[in-house]
């Protein structure tokens, strides 16, 4: 059984994140979406809210588990027995960051591979930061996030 971990802050989960998770779930036996509990950046949603939004957004994915974590993603992967870390790439700057992170993770945990997936073209330009700004300014975000996230963002930022 091959397990993958998809770590991130997911503040909030977008349709791009869900697209990567859905495609990953079709490749691996189990996907663990690991929501980082203690990022350095200021978050809009608490860890509990981000976990809840993921759980409600990924209900149709039977082989996906949602959990929170602290510390290094490679340690999270080891803890759950995953062989692969999934990372999403949207832009060239994402690639540069993930390239460095992949080699660091390889040094820390050589037994765990990193696979990068690009979201479908419809979600290529979507970022959580941009969505929060659009929502804060009264724009319609329903085409970019799962409906539970749109409701939560609109309630929190309006």
Q: Encode pLDDT of 47-74 as tens digits.
A: 999 999 999 999 999 999 999 999 999 9
Average pLDDT over residues 2-19: 96
Residues of the domain holding 111: 3-157
User: Which of 48-86 are b and which e, b meaning 16 or more Cβ less than 10 Å from the residue's Cβ?
Assistant: ebbbbbbbbbbeebeebebebbeeebbebbeeeebebbb
The predicted structure's pLDDT at residue 158: 65
What is the number of domains present in the chain? 1
**pTM, entire model:** 0.93
Question: What is the DSSP-derived secondary structure letter of residue 68?
Answer: E
Stated as kind and residue range, the H or E segment containing 52 is helix 47-57
Average pLDDT over residues 81-110: 92
Catalytic residues, which ones?
17, 41, 90, 128
- The alpha-carbon radius of gyration of the chain (Å, integer) is 15
Average pLDDT over residues 27-31: 98
**pLDDT tier for residue 75 given thresholds of 50, 70 and 90:** very high
pLDDT of residue 151 exceeding 70: yes
Average pLDDT over residues 31-50: 94
Asked if 85 contacts 77 with a C-beta cutoff of 8 angstroms, the reply is yes
User: What CATH number is associated with residue 109?
Assistant: 3.40.50.620
């Amino acid at each position: 059984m091959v397990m993958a971990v998809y770590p991130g802050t997911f503040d909030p989960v977008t349709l791009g994140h869900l697209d990567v998770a859905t495609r990953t779930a079709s490749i691996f036996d189990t996907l663990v979406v690991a929501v980082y509990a203690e990022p350095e950046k200021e978050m809009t949603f608490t860890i509990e809210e981000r976990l809840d939004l993921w759980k409600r957004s990924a209900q149709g994915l039977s082989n996906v588990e949602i959990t929170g974590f602290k510390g290094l993603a490679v340690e999270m992967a080891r803890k759950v027995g995953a062989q692969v870390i999934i990372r999403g790439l949207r832009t060239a700057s994402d690639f540069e960051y993930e390239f460095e992170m992949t080699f660091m993770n390889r040094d820390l945990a050589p037994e765990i591979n990193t696979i990068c997936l690009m979201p479908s073209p419809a979600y290529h330009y979507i970022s959580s930061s941009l969505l929060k700004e659009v929502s804060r300014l009264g724009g319609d975000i329903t085409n970019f996030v799962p409906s539970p996230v749109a409701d939560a963002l609109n309630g929190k930022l309006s």
